[in-house]
Structure 1
Amino acid sequence: MSFIEPILTDEEVERYSRQLLLREIGVKGQEKLKKSSVLVIGAGGLGSPALLYLAGAGVGSIGIIDGDNIDLSNLHRQIIYNTEDIGSSKSEAAAERIKKINPGIDVKPYHNYITMENASLIIQDFDVVINGTDNFSTRYLVNDTCVKLGIPLVDASAVMYEGQVAVYMPNNGCYRCLYPNPPEGKNAPSCSNSGVFGALVGIMGSIQAMEALKVLLNIGHIYDSRLIYFNSLTGNFQTLLRKPNPNCPICSNNISKDLKYAEECDIVENKQPFELDNEVKHYEVKPLELNVLKKDKSSYKVIDIRDRDMFNRGHIEGAILVDETNLPQKIEELKSQYNLIIVCQFGKISKHIQKEYNDIGIKNIWSLDGGIINWERYNLPLVKLDKTYS
């Protein structure tokens, strides 16, 4: 007598025993997960908990795409890594971690970024895509590719204390239905320039894993017609009902051939000492130096390019608040009268702006090294208009 080998091994039955007890899952559901595949794009704050729960649940094949390496600033929210991983590839370190959790799954790490050239080639091999990136160019590219390939997308984002999550099923609307084009400007809100509450991304990433599992198992009510907002300070969830946009540039009958993607700028640190020397190509002012220079109000002007809320929480005395969209006009107005010092939260955006002007021959623009965060490290004075932060 011949016997048919069971799809689930004895070890898997024990491993998933608590999940097998659930009526909506059971043995057939667990077998379905074993045959399923999920691609997680971005192994960061959102991707970390999503990967851990997907591996624990027994998704048979998991792809991880992320071109970044781990740095110290990641660890407060990217719980899949530890201090010893600093400097390592995120995708490879994450793959190693989840293989330790569940050796029986197939893990495919991609140590690169999603681009227009490779998006379809990678995404087409998976049943569901989870987007955990925090930049707009990738978010829109992933959305558009999933629409074209007919693959469900579980998308989430988290900035400061607020997060949102939605599931975009084929033929039922997409991210561009809500937001047709990416925001303009390099200072669009993100974790890197606005900050993020670490536990918040854990919640949103866990919801992404939960929704992906529901899609794979075809159980429950997924977020396919809803956009879920969560405010971690108030603890409130809000639901926005959504429907396909008949004029969507990617998923409607009026598909646009001129789709826009946000420009991403990889800012390479190239620290130079502060010198009033036109031969120096990159100027950065140290906090203690700026604290002295700002007293010369006839020669120096500090331009703060953060949002008004951050400005009101604390800014350098004498600084003027300038929205990034109005910055070129303001610089043109002031550059002949003052040495200009651009200030942002962490010093990266201001550094990039300074370099752009330096490259076209404007030599009297500097950037505050390390931004306001670095200024606060030296306990230097800030003017606070919002007394809540006094």
Structure 2
Amino acid sequence: MTPDRLSRFARHIVLPEVGGVGQMALAGAHVVVIGCGGIGSPAIQYLAAAGVGRLTLIDDDRVEASNLQRQTIFTEADIGQSKAQAAADWVQRFDPAIDVTAHQTRICAENAQALLKDATIILDGCDNFATRLAVSDAAVAAQIPLTTAAVGRFQGQVANFAGHLDQHACYRCFVGDAFDATDCDTCAADGVLGAFVGMVGTMAAQSAIRIILHAAGAPGPLADPQWGRLHLIDGLAPSLRTITIPADPACAAQPSSGA
């Protein structure tokens, strides 16, 4: 690392759980973020702040005034602009050393392979089950770990999945096959507290960092990816409880043999 990068990430490097090895792993990681909204905004900001070297941002939506209450990466000047591009512009201003690419499109089974190419990890914060299931299936097929995060009113969920590994669950093992885009509640209809969405998005960023540190062989509990452990966050109490999602032998996305 150059002296300016060492200075920038000094507070990470002095942590035994990260150190120089972990920081270099973050610099070499490629994170694909699905959705640049309420969850994606803080996740992108903290992944960039952590020194993740390459970010691919995917979102087909445009910034609206109502987004600003929780989507912290945007300003009034971004209204009407592509969310993916506006978020990428923020990353470039924040740290020009990060390689960032924006795709103004909706990821689906047909384009997932190309969009996820060379990813170290996928972080999915999108707003519908159809996309989440397509991303999960693509992650299993490409053998890429998946961080998934979701919010409904004051309830949040964050988990890391490694469905490509033997005996490990994928996201489809968790929700099954029945869901599609019409099953999702919306922030517009139900409301959402901006600070709580930020809390979930930040936790998702840390969960993704866990996977990167695990792959680098970093020591300590921070490098535990916690595969299949679903963290349920109650924003009203507040409280956190964790359940373990088992692999479903009948899951359509599960490989016939583990990697």
Q: Which residue of 2 aligns with 1:211?
A: 207
* Higher relative contact order, structure no. (Cα contacts within 8 Å, ≥ 6 residues apart): 2
Q: Which runs of no fewer than 5 residues in structure 2 stay unpaired?
A: none
- Counterparts of residues 187-266 of structure 1 (less than 5 Å): 188-218=184-214, 219=218, 220=222, 221-251=224-254, 253=256
Kindly indicate whether the alpha-carbon contact (under 8 Å) linking 1:135 and 1:190 is maintained by their aligned counterparts in 2: no
Distance in 1, Cα, partners of 2:181 & 2:39: 24
* 1:1-390 matched pairs, under 5 angstroms: 8-169=1-162, 170-171=164-165, 172-183=168-179, 186=182, 188-218=184-214, 219=218, 220=222, 221-251=224-254, 253=256
Give the match's secondary structure for 1:92: helix
1:310-355 Cα deviation digits (max 9, x unpaired): xxxxxxxxxxxxxxxxxxxxxxxxxxxxxxxxxxxxxxxxxxxxxx
Which is helix-richer, 1 or 2?
2
8 Å CA contact 1:136, 1:182 repeated in 2: no
**Cα deviations by residue, 1:13-51 (Å, 9 ceiling, x for unpaired):** 011011110112222221121111100010000000110
Helix, strand or coil for the counterpart of 1:50?
Answer: helix
SS in 1 for 2:122: strand
Q: CA RMSD in A?
A: 1.6
Amino acid at match of 2:149: A
Instruction: Choose 87-96 or 221-230, whichever is displaced more.
Output: 221-230
Cα distance, 1:185–1:50 mapped onto 2, change above 3 Å: closer
Q: Which amino acid aligns with 1:204?
A: V
Give the total of aligned pairs. Answer: 247
- Cα distance in 1 between the residues matched to 2:247 and 2:157: 18
Contact (CA 8 Å) 2:113, 2:138: kept in 1 or not?
A: yes
* Structure 1 residue 177 displacement after superposition: 0.9
| CA distance in 1 between partners of 2:20 and 2:180 (Å) | 49
Q: Secondary structure at the match of 1:186?
A: helix
- Please, what TM-score do these two structures have when normalized by structure 1? 0.61
CA–CA separation in structure 2 for the residues paired with 1:40 and 1:133: 9
How many Å apart are 1:113 and its aligned residue?
A: 1.3
Gap regions ≥5 residues in structure 1: 1-7, 255-390
CA contact (8 A) 1:157 1:204 kept: yes
TM-score, length basis structure 2: 0.91
1:120 maps to a residue whose letter is Q
